[in-house]
Amino acid sequence: MSDLTSAAAAVGGEAAAPTPTGPAPAGKKEASASLWADARRQLVRDPVFVVAAIYILLVTSMALFPWLWTRTDPRACDVKFHRTPPNAEHIFGTNILGCDYYAFNVYGARPSLAIAILATTGIVVIGGLSGLLAGYFGGWVDAIISRIMDIFFSLPFLLGAIVFLVVVKDQTIFTLAFVLVLLAWPTIARIMRSSVISSKNLDYVHAAKAVGATNGRLMFRHILPNAIAPMLVYATITLGSFVSAEATLTFLGVGLQAPAQSWGIAIAQHQVYFLEDPWLLLFPCGLLVGTVLSFILMGDALRDALDPKLR
């Protein structure tokens, strides 16, 4: 679990011990609305968050509409001009096959972001739901879900991913995302479980139960909105971890394969030319690190904004 847990614990180490988000017995809806409204106001004023969000928007636009950024086809290559340094025609230079490196990097944004977003959605749905069920029902439901969580949690993250991906053999965006979900959902389930446990015995939940609310209504209308904040913070940071995990797995040779364009492939292909032509590593590494950094900073800012204790 090297990348994921460390990144999550790194940012304050509070992801595992969620902060209760403003238990407001009376007028729950207003209180929660004002929590989010306050958070939004604080985030817009936070320069770090704004810069990180703009960077992410730029990278997302690269992923969605690469033709806005470049008119060059990343596969229109001429081996005669391989590894030319950055110049007026090729502002990032060309790679070992003589392809335009700027276009290659722009098109490389899509697989990284697609995998990160798919996998994060997956862990939020699966992990969030199982954490909610385990925390709400307790007892044997909790025991079973917790043991299943333990099984996946005890697998070392990278080694587990390598074993799964080697077996899958067909390494596409979807299989990579699937493997990441499989290995990462227990963390988010744990976060969700503990925040559900801490908020399920609050007065407003008892009140709703006394009025006769069903289990489903209690879980999704009353407990979930008050327990979701720590999960969202972790999910934002995880987006960054997954971008980096994709590149790492690709670098190790079990991720996306060469004809595809991705930052991980660019780094893996050119690592041996590092000393002669450092720009070949500089551009993909810069984009990659910038993306991971932005997601982490956004998660950090989000946590500060959602934590009423810090105000």
Q: Under the rule (CB under 8 A), what is the footprint of other proteins?
A: 1-3, 5-7, 9-14, 147-148, 150-152, 154-160, 162-164, 166-167, 169, 240, 244, 247-248, 251-252, 267, 271, 274-275, 281, 285, 288-289, 292-293, 296-297, 300
Q: Which is nearer to other proteins, 27 or 253 (CB)?
A: 253
Q: Which is nearer to other proteins, 70 or 291 (CB)?
A: 291
Whether 6 and 187 have beta carbons less than 8 Å apart is answered as: no
Whether 111 and 262 have beta carbons less than 8 Å apart is answered as: yes
CB of 48 to other proteins, least distance (A): 10
CB of 270 to other proteins, least distance (A): 10
Q: How many angstroms from the chain centroid is the CA of residue 12?
A: 17
Q: Which is nearer to other proteins, 11 or 223 (CB)?
A: 11
Indicate the length of the chain as a whole number.
311
Q: Which is nearer to other proteins, 185 or 204 (CB)?
A: 185
Judged by DSSP in three states, 138 sits in coil
Residue type, 206: H
CB of 288 to other proteins, least distance (A): 7
What residue has token string 């595809």? 260
Closest Cα to residue 51, out of 90, 265, 59?
A: 59
Q: Which is nearer to other proteins, 231 or 249 (CB)?
A: 249
CB of 91 to other proteins, least distance (A): 22
Q: Which is nearer to other proteins, 176 or 297 (CB)?
A: 297
CB of 1 to other proteins, least distance (A): 5
C-alpha neighbours within 13 Å on the C-beta side of residue 193? 23
CB of 126 to other proteins, least distance (A): 16
Burial of 276 (0-12, 13-18, 19+ CB in 10 A): exposed
Helical residues (DSSP H) of 138-223, grouped into ranges: 139-154, 157-168, 173-200, 203-211, 215-217
